[in-house]
Amino acid sequence: MNDMLEHEQPLFDEKVVETAIEQEDISTFRQEFLSFLPYDRMQFFAKQPKEVRLEIYNYLSPQEMAEVFQHLEQEDIPMYVDEMSPFFVADMLADMYADDAVDILNQLRKEQVASLLTIMDVQAAREIKELLYYEEHTAGSLMTTEFIAINENQTVRSAMYILKKEAPEAETIYYIYVTNRYKQLVGVVSLRDLIVSDDDTMISEIVNDRIVTVSVEEDQEDVARKMRHYDFLALPVVDYQHHLLGIITVDDVMDVMEEEASEDYSKLAAVSETERTDDNPFVAARKRLPWLIILLFLGMCSATLIGKFEATLEQVAILAVFIPLIAGMAGNTGTQALAVVVRSIATGEMDTEQKRKLVFREAGTGLITGAVCGVLVTGIVFVWHGHLFLGILVGISILTTLAIATLAGAVVPLLMHRFNIDPAVASGPFITTINDMISILVYFGLATAFMSYLI
């Protein structure tokens, strides 16, 4: 065990690299820096001030810098590109897989993209332009064209020759896609199939024609869901005539899942998904204010509702004590139901019948939780204030608002999804504010109707 530990690669020694940069010792810098994994290089690079980064650009080739860039946060890329020579950037992008290069170009200004494509290697620029044509967040924008395809009328021997020739440039070699003479996808063979088959065996004899594909216009969330369901390392992308256009690999899908999860979480918190932790207070405030102003006006609606029951409050001032309790409980239970439904929609777990069952389940859950909380609060208010009917009023209000709030938390995102609106937009703060208004209306409506029992 100790022998194994002695041979493990040491941790990234940042001090050695920093000293090499300070002393302009290019040889030591390259030897140390390039001996570690690309992710570790990115972590070191991203922490450096601009003057150090400018030195690093001089010490690394475009190909070596490409490995660092493929791990950078997307929103940081424009800043780094502006620091570099356009010709250096063009060579760096040309050395990347086309789909990774497109991800970077999508972060840049249009005039930058046009300039870089003009000075880039012609073949690389052509492949990148093909992917830039597709709408963002679709399978076409996500796919790579670096894959291996063979013809169904070839032998295993000729297929292995193609595999050895094209493998260095391919993003994955575990799946080899089989096409007919019209370039239409007819199936797939695995690397194992080729290795264990006789050299003279025809590809058409070993091809697996039961293949899962995605359309080039399919949404990236649907692609990620399909990849997760089938546990594939890659999925082929086809057009409406089933021509093979590219493949989507599992590492791209992992990026999509992280991006979508981050976006949905931001929307659930009513925060812009573009906000970063290193934004200064003014930038962060500018991004949050639009949401907060909308919620402010919704909150004013709640205040207006309370104003309508001013006379009720004047006669029974104790009612004001329980406003935060009822409104808070309604907001909490609505957010719980919202989280369950949004997650189910995002994972694609529900068909029409399951949506109906979920609505009924949440309605039942709201009634049960409302009833339990209502009974508890009735007893607590009676013991606290010695007023039985006040306790009953608060308890019934809790029961009614929790039932309605839970149902609203389930129905609102389902309705938004039905009209092709991102259900995450029905975020927690919105549901909470809406449920505040419902709870106030129910609470003071009941109090006004039964005022004679309270006085």
104 and 164 together in one domain: no
What is the distance between the alpha carbons of residues 243 and 229, in angstroms, rounded to a whole number?
A: 24
Q: Which residues contact 25 (CB under 8 A, 6 or more apart)?
A: 19
The torsion of the CA quartet 355, 361, 367, 372, rounded to 10 degrees, works out to -140
Asked if the structure places residue 264 within a domain, the reply is no
Q: What is the pLDDT of residue 264?
A: 60
- The pLDDT of 101-124, averaged and rounded, is 91
- The pLDDT of 184-197, averaged and rounded, is 93
Q: What is the pLDDT of residue 277?
A: 56
Cβ atoms of 341 and 414 closer than 8 Å: yes
126 and 170 together in one domain: no
Asked if the structure places residue 5 within a domain, the reply is no
301 and 373 together in one domain: yes
Q: What is the pLDDT of residue 44?
A: 92
201 and 54 together in one domain: no
pLDDT digits (tens, 9 = 90+) for 37-65: 888 999 999 999 999 999 999 999 999 99
117 and 238 together in one domain: no
133 and 166 together in one domain: no
71 and 195 together in one domain: no
Asked if the structure places residue 276 within a domain, the reply is no
124 and 160 together in one domain: no
207 and 290 together in one domain: no
Q: What is the pLDDT of residue 275?
A: 53
- The pLDDT of 115-132, averaged and rounded, is 91
Cβ atoms of 35 and 16 closer than 8 Å: no
305 and 420 together in one domain: yes
Asked if the structure places residue 2 within a domain, the reply is no
Range(s) of the domain holding residue 27? 12-137
Structure tokens at 353: 């019948």
CATH number of domain containing 52: 1.25.60.10
Asked if the structure places residue 275 within a domain, the reply is no
Domains in the chain: how many in total? Answer: 3
Q: Report in angstroms the alpha-carbon separations of 62 from 35, 43, 128, 235, 310.
A: 17, 18, 17, 30, 71
330 and 450 together in one domain: yes
pLDDT digits (tens, 9 = 90+) for 223-270: 888 888 888 889 999 999 999 999 999 888 887 777 766 666 555 555
Structure tokens at 194: 């080729």
CATH number of domain containing 351: 1.10.357.20
State the average pLDDT for the chain.
Answer: 84
Q: Work out the pLDDT band at 120, boundaries 50, 70, 90.
A: very high
Q: Is 211 a residue whose pLDDT tops 70?
A: yes
The torsion of the CA quartet 299, 304, 307, 309, rounded to 10 degrees, works out to -100
Q: What is the pLDDT of residue 352?
A: 75
Asked if the structure places residue 321 within a domain, the reply is yes
Pick from 87, 111, 137: which residue ends a domain?
A: 137
Asked if the structure places residue 143 within a domain, the reply is no
CATH number of domain containing 222: 3.10.580.10
Q: Which helix (H) or strand (E) holds 198?
A: none
Q: What is the pLDDT of residue 4?
A: 42
Q: Which residues contact 425 (CB under 8 A, 6 or more apart)?
A: 267, 416
